[in-house]
Structure 1
Amino acid sequence: MTEQVVTGGGRRGASSAVERVVATVREGVKTGRYVPGQRLVEADLMRELGVGRNALREALSRLRSDGFVQIEAHRGASIRRLTREDVAQLYELREVLEGLAARLAAQRIGETDHRQRLVAALESMHEVARTAELPAYMDENIRFHRTIVELSAHPRLEELVDQLQIQTFRIQFRSAAANHDRTGMREYSVTEHQSLAEAILDGDGTRAEDLMRRHLRHTRSGIMQLPDGDFA
């Protein structure tokens, strides 16, 4: 019992440190603090986050497994740059998983506060599309998608989609920024989200899944038009 308390506390502390590093890097990728190709200097991260070398390296190993970083001999860790093939495959996965999420969300739209949450997310997206700059709209875009996944009431699905969304968010942002007709882009995006929300609110799982998949295929198509310099 004594050993469990001592070693268990130590393991919990190490686990907490690992999780802190993982969360920090994931959030940094999402917000653009860490950009593709940027080196992650171990000494800087250890000092900033107050973690030891073992915890840091365990966290970096996990981030590599999740596709966020790459680790090279004599160079260390850096934020992974995505190839065109990487992006295509990530969006194929998002299409399947978020299509399923939309179907499940429609099937469960009558539960507790699900309907109110989706309506609120849609209204917020409309408001931000009218009033905010592109970065704020992109944030709202991903929140809308996450709301649908949350309404699927499938925690494992939510975890997988979150990982994929973070990896594709920055390159999706560059695609949107490269579109000179930003107003038209937003209007088209909002229209797609409106139709998707209506299908879910109607409880039509088949239509919701089809609209989500078509929406993500359209997004992927826009990203594929980016110049080669935006990919590894």
Structure 2
Amino acid sequence: MPVQNNAPAVQQVCHAITRAIRDGRLAPGQRLTEAEFTQKLSVSRPTVREAFRQLCSDGLLLSEPHRGVSVRQLTRRELDDLFVIRATLEALAVRLAAPALQSAPAELIRIQDALDQAQRTADLTEMSRHNLAFHQLFAETSGNTLLQSLLHRLTNSVYWLQFRVLVADDKVLHSNSQHQEITAAILAGNAKTAADIMAAHIDQTRLLVQSLDDFYFAPPL
């Protein structure tokens, strides 16, 4: 029997679609249907419809009259605008989270160790996974739920493009040096330095994403 339309079921569908986009199984511009996910995830149509609505609100999906729902495709300008905001918010998250992470650094050190191991073994999949955890840690530790929500929505918007960078460009492995610098600054109590490095780190990601072929972007508005 299909799961009834409730918050946990809706979130399961949201997570499944988000993972599929992050892993490259759903591409920008690809059309999604309620019937497909109703059957695939054994949930009701109202559940899938609500998940689509939430992901459209987050900016991950796009709903258009007479065309249905598809994976949102950003223009290059939209991507730049998004990364400018994201860099500012991620730097703020670092500043807010720094005191707590300095006094209780175990999780930060664990994630950094995992990133270092992924770099040593050139494991891009593991780098992607631990990179996401690294950035989420600052938002989650910031103590600011609105900031955490905003960063979640911004990150969702570029999941698929970031995945394309991770599988196609070994330069991402070398970006771990900035993770290491952020971690060292946090442990040394230099919150401002850590925040500045995070802003530069996000901008470096922006440049890597912008280096992708025009195929991955929507035409200019």
Q: Does 1:150 align with 2:140?
A: yes
Give the Å deviation of 1:42.
Answer: 1.4
Give the Å deviation of 1:226.
Answer: 1.7
Residues 1:32 and 1:226: Cα distance change in structure 2 (over 3 Å): closer
| Structure 2 partner of 1:30 | 22
Alignment length, in residue pairs?
215
| Structure 2 partner of 1:134 | 124
Structure 1 unpaired stretches of 5+? 1-11
Q: Does 1:92 align with 2:79?
A: no
- Distance across 1 between alignment mates of 2:149 and 2:25: 22
Contact 2:118 2:124 (8 Å CA) reproduced: no
| Structure 1 partner of 2:56 | 64
Q: Does 1:175 align with 2:175?
A: no
Q: Does 1:192 align with 2:178?
A: yes
Residues 1:186 and 1:55: Cα distance change in structure 2 (over 3 Å): closer
Q: Does 1:212 align with 2:213?
A: no
Q: Which digits, 9 at most, give the CA deviation of each residue in 1:12-55, with x for residues without a partner?
A: 84334433322322222222232212211211112223333333
- Structure 1 residues 169-178 or 220-229, which shifts more? 169-178
Contact 2:28 2:216 (8 Å CA) reproduced: no
Structure 1 residue identity aligned to 2:180: Q
- Distance across 2 between alignment mates of 1:90 and 1:195: 24
- The alignment partner of 2:105 has SS state of helix
Correspondent of 1:107 among 95, 99, 107? 99
- Distance across 1 between alignment mates of 2:7 and 2:98: 37
- Distance across 1 between alignment mates of 2:167 and 2:41: 32
Q: Does 1:160 align with 2:147?
A: no
Contact 1:29 1:166 (8 Å CA) reproduced: no
| Structural RMSD (CA) | 2.1
Q: Does 1:202 align with 2:193?
A: no
Residues 1:31 and 1:176: Cα distance change in structure 2 (over 3 Å): closer
Structure 2 residue identity aligned to 1:116: A
| Structure 2 partner of 1:4 | none
Q: Which digits, 9 at most, give the CA deviation of each residue in 1:45-67, with x for residues without a partner?
A: 12223333333323212211111
- Distance across 2 between alignment mates of 1:46 and 1:106: 43
Q: TM-score, normalised by structure 2?
A: 0.86
- Distance across 2 between alignment mates of 1:106 and 1:208: 8
Give the Å deviation of 1:132.
Answer: 4.0
Q: Which digits, 9 at most, give the CA deviation of each residue in 1:192-224, with x for residues without a partner?
A: 111111111122221111111011111112222
Structure 2 residue identity aligned to 1:151: T
Greater Cα radius of gyration, structure 1 or 2:
1
- The alignment partner of 2:101 has SS state of coil
- Distance across 2 between alignment mates of 1:27 and 1:185: 20
Structure 2 residue identity aligned to 1:107: P
- Structure 1 residues 80-89 or 20-29, which shifts more? 20-29
Residues 1:214 and 1:27: Cα distance change in structure 2 (over 3 Å): same
Residues 1:17 and 1:130: Cα distance change in structure 2 (over 3 Å): same
Q: TM-score, normalised by structure 1?
A: 0.83
